[in-house]
Structure 1
Amino acid sequence: MINRHLRVVLAEDSVVLRDGMVELLRARGCEVAAAVGTAPELLAAVAEHRPDVAVVDIRMPPTHTDEGIRAAVEIRATAPGTGILVFSQHVETTWASRLFAHGASGIGYLLKERVARTSEFVEALHRVADGGAALDPEFVTQLMRGGRRSRVDTLSPREREVLELMAQGHSNRSIAGLLAVSERAVEKHVAAVFTKFGLRATDADNRRVKAVLAFLAESGA
């Protein structure tokens, strides 16, 4: 629910942007438990406050390379109940793939320059907190262009489009609406993706998550 109270920890090394985001989130009814500027401070804040979501920039002190997303991977391992929303100007494919290694639920990756409205950002926070995914299409596209795509290359253009939307967290019904096709048509495309990825139906396996993870792993390897 978009009106659910959220406890947020924010990691952003730009003081101006960090302060602005704190004001924005509080104005939208979120509790900002901590706002920090380094990866170690982020890890400490998550351990102390156990937020619903951690908002993480990738490039943070001291090297301004990948400290933030490394910390996000650590949070994913040590505090799996905490949602992760990477909010950055950059796509870091290697560590992004590791972030998704144990499932796509509760993770978001948004590019700062492509968020047109504050409502989009807040909606993404709620989606991630509720166990969904919030992936910028440009992030998905860059991952696709970044590495080996053996199984992805076997997909038809429509199957690839459906898989991209799956990776962004859309349901079959939502995909049908976005593509202006029937839900049954989407189901057929999804089934084709499963077949081409060699994902067999079992009672225990979630093929949808496995397909997205395989897509992200092959694209970002």
Structure 2
Amino acid sequence: MRVILADDSTLLREGLVRLLTEEGHQVTAAVADAEALLAAVDLAPPDAAVIDVRMPPTHTHEGLRAALEIRRRHPGVGVLVLSQYVERRYATELLTGTPAGVGYLLKDRVTEIEEFLDALHRVARGRTAFDPEVVRRLLARSTHAQGLARLTPREREVLHEIAQGHANTAIADRLRISRSAVEKHINTIFDKLDLPAASGQSRRVLAVLRYLNG
């Protein structure tokens, strides 16, 4: 696939270029700031963009703003955001828009090559990819206790897997339970979080947003 990289760390940027090239992907641009990122995406939209949250000049949320702008201008481009820390607000902003094709990984996860590549492939295919540690911390920090407090440990595990973008079959394999059991747990989660089937929206996405938004 075609990928654009944006990170002000030359070492990380060049390392990712080498990794992706060795895996057979085409890195069409590797830039150090948000302005150059937006220009590169506008010029030739890639299949996915890997973006650091904090970039010059202020090193606060330039990368996030660029990611959201890419989602607005080019909804077909997958966005995989990298962050040094778990930044709940950033993850929430990304998911509150169009969640398909969005991922959020801690930078430490990049060293786990298979997981990083899997996340990149997922967002490029229009799925979600959230770091398990990000999901765990967001779930733990959520103030939406009324609904979440009703979930059993197993239901929380299933919600954790949903937030990582896994389909029911994959969840069943990862938790070593049957697919029918997964479906029952998901329906129970929807009921406990008061997410009606007639809402006209994706209840899987709403379930994740419920604890991200707090």
TM-score scaled by structure 1?
0.90
- Structure 1, unmatched stretches of 5+, are 1-5
What is residue 183 of structure 2 aligned with on the other side? 187
1:157-172 correspondence to structure 2 within 5 Å: 157-172=153-168
Q: Residue 92 of structure 2 aligns to a residue in which SS?
A: helix
The alignment-based identity, stated in percent, is 52
User: How many residues are aligned here?
Assistant: 213
The 8 Å contact of residues 142 and 212 in structure 2, kept in 1 or not, is answered as no
Q: How far did 1:75 drift?
A: 1.4
SS in structure 2 at match of 1:199: coil
In structure 1, distance between residues paired with 2:49 and 2:109: 20
Q: Which moved more, 1:175-184 or 1:10-19?
A: 175-184
* Structure 2 residue ranges without an equivalent (≥5): none
**TM superposition shift of 1:116:** 4.5
Partners of 2:157 and 2:121 in 1: how far apart? 25
What corresponds to 1:3 in structure 2? none
Distance across 2 between alignment mates of 1:173 and 1:193: 17
Partner of residue 60 from structure 2, selected from 54, 61, 65: 65
Which letter does structure 1 place at the counterpart of 2:185?
H
- Structure 1 residue 12 corresponds to structure 2 residue 38: no
Q: Is the 8 A contact 1:155 1:196 kept in 2?
A: yes
CA distance in 2, matches of 1:155, 1:94: 23
Query: Does 2:191 correspond to 1:198?
Result: no
| 1:34 corresponds to which of 17, 29, 38 | 29
Q: In the TM superposition, what are the counterparts of 1:105-120 in structure 2 within 5 Å?
A: 105-120=100-115
* SS of 2:96 mapped into structure 1: coil
- Match for 2:122 among 107, 122, 127? 127
Per the alignment, residue 213 of structure 2 pairs with 217
Backbone CA RMSD of aligned residues:
1.7
Contact 1:70/1:95 (<8 A) preserved: no
Amino acid at match of 2:119: A
8 Å Cα contact 1:128-1:134 kept in structure 2 = yes
* Paired letter, 1:181: I
